Amino acid sequence: MNAHAPSAATLVGTLSLGGDGPTVVVKDCIDIAGTVTGCGSAAFADAAPATEHAEIVNALLNAGCKITGKANMHELAFGMTGVNVFTGTPINPMWPDRIPGGSSSGSAVAVAAGLCDFAVGTDTGGSIRQPATCCGIFGIKPTFGRISRKGLTPKDSSLDCPGILARDMEMLTKGMAAIDPTFKAEAMIHAPKLGRIKSEGVDPEIGDPLVYALMDAYPDMPYEFLPSLEAAFDAGMVVMSYEMAQEFGPMLDAGASFGPDIVARLSNARKVTEAQYAKAQDIRHRFTAEVDALLDTYDALITPSLPTFPPTLDAAKDPQNVLSLTRYQRPFNLSGHPALTLPARSNSGLPIGLQIIGPRGEDAKLCAIASWISSCISLFQPKDRTQ
């Protein structure tokens, strides 16, 4: 399978900012001084340029990285397909008939197409990990609060995390060190102790290759159960919707030029009540405790990255084909644990992935575990993107 050239919609602007280190593109909901933070939306197209860099951009520059562009995205970072009627839809380089994923679509495509060494995205409910899997690359959502959100849109979120997308674990780890000076790379000296989360509703063409690959390395890996996993998936949507409605609802009232999918999502989001939001917070506390308890026993937990293959662009027009994609990702935005996805391919050559979840604050250890798995299990080793 040959990689396709990225579309003009991958980047919304090119830059040459910083040193001689790794080249980076930054999602267009992150402030870069002198540029408009467009958020993939006509509603922000005429906004004044940012007057200062987001703190994560300053960290990249201080680390010697060279920022080469701003990446396109699903409008307002409020969608999973990456389809954007205003800025255009980035083309998935390896599977051009399928969605690039959202909301960090441009970041994932830029990395997969080789336009940069790594990219910065944001992840509110799978928005780094899902497009990473769709495009066949690596992606990490750090521990919530570890990376500063100052200079990001939305400004207020209890779920959203900036993180890194890269073509291999070495560069992903370098990216983490660049955005977080406290991050110190680690190495595994023995096989990590992993717990496999019981996952319902996974397409056998996805689940079987993952299970068989893991069985070769971990023949006795136990299954574990997170009782509140499904409730946490639903609660994460409640929290996301409520918080997005608080931030962007007034713009909707004022007639902002949002795309039709965003108008529909914001309109539905405004129906979420304070009582529903409070109940979702109760589920957050319960689910977080369940994850913490398992991570007292294991170095990390694993799930499939996606339960189904990324839908085709045509199939994604039906929301029912998209709603479950982040079934195993969004719950860990609610809990705040770091989560990382390793790319793989099914027997038919379609994109699948393994998600690894680590203890809060132990992002470097999570990266070390992912590097160990990637180096030891062939299914998760980086693939030549031209093949």
Q: Which residues are catalytic?
A: 27, 103, 127
User: Sheet harboring 300-304: ordered strands across?
Assistant: 11-18, 66-71, 23-27, 118-123, 161-166, 138-141, 339-345, 351-357, 300-304, 194-197, 223-224
b/e sequence 207-229, b meaning 16+ C-beta within 10 Å = bebbeebbeebbeebeebebebb
Q: Around Cβ 125, how many Cβ atoms within 10 Å?
A: 27
Q: Around Cβ 64, how many Cβ atoms within 10 Å?
A: 12
